[in-house]
Structure 1
Amino acid sequence: MKEKSSLTPEDVAAILNIAKNTVYELIKRGELTAYRVGRKIRVDLQDVEAYKKKGKNLESTPVNIPATTEIPTLQLEASLEGDSFSPSPRLVICGQDVLLDILARHLERHPNGTYALRHNVGSFAGLLALYRGKAHLASAHLWDGDKGIYNLTYVRYILCGIPAVIIHLAYRMQGFYTAKGNPKGIKTWQDLKRPDLVFINREKGCGTRVLLDEQIRRLGMDRRQISGYEREEHSHLAVASAVSRGEADYALGNEKASLQVRGVDFVPLQKERYELVMLKEDMDLPPFQAVIEILQSQDFKKELQGLGDYDLTELGRIVAEV
């Protein structure tokens, strides 16, 4: 092999007589310094020689990545074409709104972006995945009924002291789905007390369920008195569909789903903040900077405006560092 000062991962693998996947592991762990040229990874020959001289066992796993490396501290993928990443790395984005699907698509096209894996879970599950290192971004719309604020309280406690950044996505309206024409006259949170109504609930841990339980607590109710409270579905569309089929009199969800399901009306109750959370330590890495740039771009905002039913006045604004 012809020596050169700038080496591909394949070159490094040949020099060290190891698998190419192991080279990516060494880079990810910070044992081998690397840098990007566009979407490609390069290693200087002198850094390979320095690694060889250290005589490190390839199974060692240092926990700190040197500040000089430009490789994000994320899972590096070995599915490549040539020596370009495809993708590198993948970001896991937790949340259930179509807005996040659009974000993932824009991220794939961004010069510093990457491919994203979407995990459709509720706010609690998403924040727990972020805390456990199983996700890189998580959306949240968790209401603190005592303070009258969204997300800040939950992010602080679920992430258990790990610094995080909260970025605003959109305001959405939450309310009751009812049968067309609202024949039961459902209008306010007080209607949760009515014994003649059958409810259908969302799963534990999602933002809609948290909002419901907080309102029940504030009303001083016993949730077991709500007929149908124990029956759960895992999306806005699922509960709206159940109402349209007559399987329940009402359900709680966002306005957008009511426009997608025939035979339901929407009773607006509360405007919520829908926001994105990332770890502060990741914020300066290229893929995360790409996310922020996308959220603050006019192209992204225009596409969301085309969908309607979002208040985007604060889209992309960093609202808190926790």
Structure 2
Amino acid sequence: MKSKRNVYLKMKPLAEARKILSDAFPRFGTLEAETVPAPDAAGRVLAEPIFASVSAPNFHAAAMDGVAVKAEITFGISETRPGELIIGKDAFYVNTGHVLPDGTNAVIMVEHLNVLDEDRVEIEAPAFPWQNVRRMGEDIVATELLFSRNHRVTPYCVGALIEGGVFSVPVRRKPRVMVIPTGSEIVDWRKTPIENVTPGQVLDSNSYVLGKLTEACGGEFVRHEVVRDDLGLITQAVEEAVKGNFDIVLTVGGSSAGSEDYTREMMADLGEVLVHGVTIMPGKPVLIGKIGNKPVLGMPGYPVSMIVAFEQFVRPLICRMLGQPEPEPVKIPVETTRKLPSRLGVEEFLRVRLGKVGDRIVATSLPRGAGCITSITEADGIIRIPAHSEGIREHETVTAELLRPLNTIRNTLVAVGSHDNTLDVLADQLRADHGGLTLSSSHVGSMGGLMAIKRGVCHLAGSHLLDTEDGSYNLSWVKRFLPETAVRIVNLVFREQGLIVARGNPKGIQGIEDLAREDVRFMNRQSGSGTRILLDYRLGQIGMAPASVNGYATEEFTHMAVAVAVLSGSVDVGLGIYAAAKALNLDFIPVVTEQYDLIIPEEYFGSENMRILLDTINTGAFKSRVEALGGYSTEKTGEIIL
């Protein structure tokens, strides 16, 4: 039986795929003009050169308050030989912006006048021609070129247009893009209440992201209704769009190699498939075709893949249509905080958090899945790993393309270590009270946080490492692993740690000993996390071997991820904090009240940004928000332990 899967037989490197697209539409140039009022031209691209109709100013104008004079009559005046001017004959009072009286060519500032009476003033210095005067045409001269063709109009430019007597301007028509979401699983959130969305259904966000990306490039979009997985319906929608007044047609989803991915077949039936698959990650499944002499692109269904594909293929098309160069990202050198392996033969667009630690900007990798939209909303930059590379070494200096302004990155506090929900509250409180300061958290476990401090790649680390000898937290671990690093330890919270189970506790789990049951599936935290250390300690107390726990080797990196695993039913129980269970309306079996501290290197403890953070955790607003999460005590929040 013939397979229905559209296997990627001839994937193209990125540069080759971009050239194929460009060569396929050699006359895909600038668009025709439309006329808009000058104020509405901001953000638009001029279709014709613009020349001034009038001069600005169109008269000689006083640039200061004072008296207008003919400069030549003041020559020879000095402090030792002051001169007297008759108002209405030799001098004329003017205010800033007034027309200069006939026969005058200078203005003496009112501060430099000695008023003798209402008819006479005295001066002690001469004026020179055109002193304190805005001459006619000083800014704009009638008929001069204001802006050339293909200039993008800024709000500043609007002022020049109007001052130059240009009140309507010809601009390039906005490129029109049709966005067609496809997939039987896709749900239109405008029509379906969220409570009616069932497992397996997906809210359509992709088409709106593509639309807004189009607008950000200077185009406009129309969103088609969702088309289910049916070759005939998809073909009909695309055919109508190509015949309509659209310049580019984008389908969303169905571009991959699955048995229900019909975009390639549709494209081959209606026109020509130029590229199916590009050696980039994310973004591999992109489809590029030509139908009715128009570009039709099948965009991947995973959001990050789709965004990368748009920026690499659709944005250049829109820029060409508007006569604009493709925007060049700001690039800076950054240092990686850990080894980042990558696949040979694929160019990877790695999303990273950035922060200035000491004299370096350090990069911490975000989740690499193409379906993780938050991996790009939380990213500060992109590191492009070439196809010929197997990855990046730890502490290697590489180039990052910025997604945020550099000053934002310089004002980012980098936290690495154990996950806790209060860090999200703290990050928001900092932004609310101090808009220029950002807290960026990377969750690698308590031990990972201590190692990050040791390597000098963070400003602080969250930790809840239990000393199994005396029951204390963090102190002995800091002394053992950071013997040569001066640090401060500040309590953030005390929190309830325990077993997270489904609502109603259907498996009847009572404690750690139940993890040995064959019918209980467990979700663990990563090695080196404080939660993992706590579990191992408790297992040892009751004489249970880790191998007896069904799921001991299955790991997640945050308490919320463990809670989600329980909520989804993929596991029956996980060890985590009460706040995570409460957030998802799950049941909770307390195990221990533990201490969660911030470990702060001495060199950053006295910095202004750290002072703001420590002041914030001591506010009533922060403590109230934390206690509202449930399972937390802020009695010792802000207390300096070391």
TM-score range, shorter chain: 0.5 to 0.7
Question: Equivalent residue for 1:140?
Answer: 463
1:261-293: CA deviation from partner (whole Å, max 9, x where unpaired): 24x321111111111110123222222222222
Which stretch shifts more, 174-183 or 208-217? Answer: 174-183
CA contact (8 A) 1:173 1:270 kept: yes
Are 1:91 and 2:413 an aligned pair?
yes
Are 1:121 and 2:444 an aligned pair?
yes
Per-residue deviation at 1:108?
4.6
CA contact (8 A) 1:93 1:117 kept: yes
Per-residue deviation at 1:195?
4.4
1:196-227: CA deviation from partner (whole Å, max 9, x where unpaired): 43322111122211110111122232211212
| Partner SS for 1:318 | coil
Unmatched tracts of structure 1, length 5 or more: 1-71
Q: When the two structures are superposed, what TM-score results if normalisation uses the length of structure 1?
A: 0.67
Q: Which amino acid aligns with 1:253?
A: G
CA contact (8 A) 1:200 1:248 kept: yes
Per-residue deviation at 1:110?
5.9
1:37-95: CA deviation from partner (whole Å, max 9, x where unpaired): xxxxxxxxxxxxxxxxxxxxxxxxxxxxxxxxxxx945479x9xxxx954544321124
Q: Which amino acid aligns with 1:219?
A: I
Are 1:318 and 2:640 an aligned pair?
yes
Per-residue deviation at 1:137?
0.7
* Distance change in 2, residues 1:184/1:308 (3 Å): closer
CA contact (8 A) 1:92 1:118 kept: yes
CA contact (8 A) 1:76 1:89 kept: no
1:113-140: CA deviation from partner (whole Å, max 9, x where unpaired): 7333322332111221111111111101
Question: Equivalent residue for 1:240?
Answer: 563
Unmatched tracts of structure 2, length 5 or more: 1-356, 363-401
1:186-197 to 2 correspondences below 5 Å: 186-197=509-520
| Partner Cα distance (2:453, 2:486) in 1 | 12
Are 1:131 and 2:454 an aligned pair?
yes
* Distance change in 2, residues 1:146/1:189 (3 Å): farther
Q: Which amino acid aligns with 2:451?
A: L
Which stretch shifts more, 105-114 or 147-156? Answer: 105-114
CA contact (8 A) 2:515 2:550 kept: no
* Distance change in 2, residues 1:289/1:74 (3 Å): farther
Question: Equivalent residue for 1:202?
Answer: 525
- Structure 2 residue aligned with 1:277, among 599, 603, 626? 599
CA contact (8 A) 2:520 2:550 kept: yes
Are 1:154 and 2:446 an aligned pair?
no
Question: Equivalent residue for 1:251?
Answer: 574
Per-residue deviation at 1:158?
2.3
Q: Which amino acid aligns with 2:581?
A: S
| Partner Cα distance (2:615, 2:578) in 1 | 27
| Partner SS for 2:633 | coil
* Distance change in 2, residues 1:308/1:229 (3 Å): closer
Are 1:182 and 2:505 an aligned pair?
yes
Question: Equivalent residue for 1:289?
Answer: 611
Question: Equivalent residue for 1:28?
Answer: none
| Partner SS for 2:440 | strand
* Distance change in 2, residues 1:290/1:200 (3 Å): same
1:158-204: CA deviation from partner (whole Å, max 9, x where unpaired): 22331211111111111112233223332223333444433221111
* Distance change in 2, residues 1:284/1:217 (3 Å): same
Aligned length, in residue pairs: 248
| Partner Cα distance (2:434, 2:566) in 1 | 44
Root-mean-square deviation over aligned CA pairs: 3.1
Are 1:169 and 2:492 an aligned pair?
yes
| Partner Cα distance (1:281, 1:165) in 2 | 10
* Distance change in 2, residues 1:152/1:113 (3 Å): farther
| Partner Cα distance (2:609, 2:430) in 1 | 8
Q: When the two structures are superposed, what TM-score results if normalisation uses the length of structure 2?
A: 0.35
* Distance change in 2, residues 1:181/1:288 (3 Å): same
| Partner Cα distance (2:630, 2:617) in 1 | 17
CA contact (8 A) 2:582 2:630 kept: no
Kindly indicate which of the two structures has a greater share of residues assigned to helix.
1
CA contact (8 A) 1:240 1:257 kept: yes
Question: Equivalent residue for 1:220?
Answer: 543
| Partner SS for 2:613 | helix
CA contact (8 A) 1:144 1:214 kept: no
Q: Which amino acid aligns with 2:551?
A: G
| Partner SS for 2:592 | strand
CA contact (8 A) 2:497 2:591 kept: yes
| Partner SS for 2:451 | helix
Question: Equivalent residue for 1:19?
Answer: none
* Distance change in 2, residues 1:293/1:245 (3 Å): closer
Q: Percent identity?
A: 35
* Distance change in 2, residues 1:184/1:278 (3 Å): same
Per-residue deviation at 1:297?
2.2
| Partner SS for 1:154 | helix
* Distance change in 2, residues 1:249/1:307 (3 Å): closer
- Greater Rg over alpha carbons, structure: 2
User: Larger RCO: Structure 1 or Structure 2 (Cα < 8 Å, ≥ 6 residues apart)?
Assistant: 1
Are 1:299 and 2:633 an aligned pair?
no
